[in-house]
Amino acid sequence: MADSVWTATLAQFRDRVASHEPLPAGVTSAAVSATFAVALLCKVLQVTMRHKDFRGDPDLVNGLLRDARDTSEKLSRLADDDVLAFQEYMDCARRKQPMDAAIRKTIEVPLNVARTAAEGITLCEKAVGHVHAVVAPDLGVAAGLLAGAVRSTLITVSSNLNQLPENDPYRMEASVEAGRLAI
């Protein structure tokens, strides 16, 4: 895998996901999808601000835009973090090294993707009623894509949690948070 999923074209990324290679896979794909969803939110906010009949609160919309850009950056980093976490996990398995820290990373990264995608949903909810009607459907699409990213990454979290002992405090803590994030 290249240094970053973001250095590939969309076609190359799609082909890598579709290949027999272990990376990139589900969480990376969800993080990339969520990044595009937040980019769509940014477009909605910018089109709204530039529309000739915009009568809304520019400070509110600019604040949402700033937060959306920050969220997009986080999600972009998390897509790459997922690849690194899985590579670390596989390296530990191949070398027959202790897996605890690597397993925790394969839980923490998808949890971070779900958390951050949920933050994106909150931004979409705050934007409702403040965006121009012409781009309002795109706001709904962004929220839907983000909800899908949350749900799909929690599937991985659930699976990876099963690798930890049932009485592991981290397993219990992460399970509670995953339950809270489930939409």
Instruction: Characterize 89-117 residue by residue with b for buried, 16 or more Cβ atoms within 10 angstroms of its Cβ, and e for exposed.
Output: beebeeeeeeeeebbbbbbbbbbbbbbbb
pTM, rounded to two decimals: 0.94
Q: Which helix (H) or strand (E) holds 119?
A: helix 100-127
Please write the tens of the pLDDT for every residue from 92-139: 999 999 999 999 999 999 999 999 999 999 999 999 999 999 999 999
Tell me which CATH code domain 24-181 carries: 1.20.120.680
pLDDT of residue 1: 47
